[in-house]
Amino acid sequence: MIRFHKEGYKIISITFIFSISIILLVERFFDAILAIKIIQILTLVFMVLILQFFRNPKRNTILNDNQIIASVDGKVVVIEEVEETEFFKDKRIQVSIFMSPINVHVTRYAMSGEIKYSKYHPGKYLVAWHPKASTENERTTVVIENNSFGKILYRQIAGALAKRIVNYAKVGDTVLQGTDAGFIKFGSRVDVFLPIGTKINVKLGEKVVGGVKVIAEK
């Protein structure tokens, strides 16, 4: 059975009512059978795309404090050593995963631990793969700490289409690896900042599955 994320319930309901209305009423405004069928088909396609975007498949995460899992579905677009300037203010390994509109957009906790930092930043809506998207786009920054990795940081970043980031992480919360951490509506990417020396298990261009794929380990 297909599950949908709670963040999509309202949009799905509105889309369903709108789509059914169009399909039923279009015959009143058009006489041409071909035009009616085209509009009805396009409406159904639109409804299916909305349903696909908010799907929330169950993932079987194997809990391991020595591993970092992918927070989202998508493609690895960045693996590099960078200066993290918001929280750590030192060098970290950045792994970035880009989500296309057809990917599952649920954000999952990359590891278990305690939330040490959680902050929302308003910003621009540059395309998600833009080099400055990580620091200039609308985004949330979250830091988790556990005994194995210490602190890691992940950042939900809005893109050109994304207009709302949902972040459930609150400072002081204890969270479980692979569980629901939020949602990014209509596109974007997630950056993860790991300690120098962390073993990276993915390659540029590799497609990963959130809550399942191990992207790094001790």
- Most confident segment among 48-52, 98-102, 160-164, 206-210: 206-210
Active site residue 96: no
**Residues 116-136: tens digit of each pLDDT:** 999 999 877 666 555 666 666
Q: Higher model confidence: residue 56 or residue 150?
A: 150
Out of 3.40.50.970, 2.70.70.10, 3.40.50.10490, 3.40.50.300, the CATH code matching 67-217 is 2.70.70.10
**Residues 74-97: tens digit of each pLDDT:** 999 999 999 999 999 999 999 999
Burial classification of residue 209, based on how many CB atoms lie within 10 Å of its CB (0-12 exposed, 13-18 middle, 19 or more buried): middle
The mean pLDDT value for 48-55 works out to 83
Of 17-31, 36-50, 71-85, 152-166, the poorest mean pLDDT is in: 152-166
**Structure confidence at residue 30 (pLDDT):** 79
Candidates 19, 71, 134, 188; catalytic one: 188
Residue 99 Cα to chain centre, angstroms: 7
Backbone φ and ψ of 198, nearest 5°: -65, 135
